[in-house]
């Protein structure tokens, strides 16, 4: 006796479930969108220590940043020339301790300018060190 097998392939899901399915799909894609990994640049900044200005070595490379300009050891440099010039200076130094670059920024230096310059220093093999001016309260008698 031949047994007829029922085909289950063409059974449609109940129409009442479409709302649930849509809701679950929305939640699924929202969660997927919110867990995208971040990408960035690692930066190793030496631990803060208080140093008086007179103690600084004279042969240290210093970079000064203003709102738009860059100064390398006091000389103004265009953003295009900065990368090759800092690389040339760092390549001439073999000792890792000499590859420290002191970065001093004016208070109004924007972050996008700062990160562009410090990235170039690190890509050239330099070690970025920040020079911050300490706030001092002076009491006038």
Partner 1 sequence: MAMGDIAFNLLIFFVILARAQDDSHLQWTPAKAQNLEQAGHSLVSVVVDTENKLYLNGQEIGVGQLASAIEDQLGDAPSGERTVLLKVHQEAVALRFEPVIEAVSEAGGDLVHIVEDVKKTSKK
> Which residues sit at the interface with partner 1, rule CB under 8 A?
17, 20, 24, 27-28, 31, 34, 37-48, 65, 105-112, 114-116, 119, 123, 130, 132
> Smallest Cα–Cα separation from 103: which of 126, 136, 78, 134?
126
- Find the shortest distance in angstroms from Cβ 61 to partner 1: 19
Q: Among residues 28 and 76, whose Cβ is nearest to partner 1?
A: 28
| Dihedral angle computed from the Cα positions of residues 103, 83, 73 and 102, in that order, rounded to the nearest 10 degrees | 20
Q: How far is the CB of 2 from partner 1 (least distance, A)?
A: 33
Question: Which one, 43 or 56, has the nearer CB to partner 1?
Answer: 43
Residue 61 bridge partners (DSSP): 101
**Minimum CB distance to partner 1 smaller for 44 or for 94:** 44
Q: How far is the CB of 35 from partner 1 (least distance, A)?
A: 8
Coil vs helix vs strand at 129? strand
Give dist(CA 65, CA 82) in Å, integer. Answer: 12
What is the DSSP code (8-state) at residue 72?
E
Task: List Cα–Cα distances, 25 to 13, 18, 117, in angstroms.
Answer: 16, 10, 44
* Residue 15 CB, nearest approach to partner 1 (Å): 14
Query: Which residue lies nearer to partner 1 by CB, 20 or 81?
Result: 20
């Amino acid at each position: 006796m031949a047994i007829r097998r029922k085909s289950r392939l063409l059974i449609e899901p109940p129409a009442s479930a479409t709302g649930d399915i849509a809701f679950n799909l929305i939640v699924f894609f929202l969660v997927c969108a919110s867990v995208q990994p971040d990408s960035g640049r690692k930066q190793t900044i030496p631990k803060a220590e208080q140093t008086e200005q007179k103690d600084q070595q004279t042969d240290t490379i210093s970079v000064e940043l203003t709102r738009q300009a860059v100064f390398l050891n006091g000389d103004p440099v265009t953003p295009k020339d900065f990368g090759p010039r800092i690389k040339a200076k760092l390549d001439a130094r073999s000792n890792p301790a000499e590859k420290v670059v002191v970065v001093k920024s004016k208070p109004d230096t924007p972050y996008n300018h700062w990160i562009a310059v410090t990235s170039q220093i690190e890509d050239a093999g330099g070690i970025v060190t920040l020079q911050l001016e300490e706030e001092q309260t002076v009491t006038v008698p």
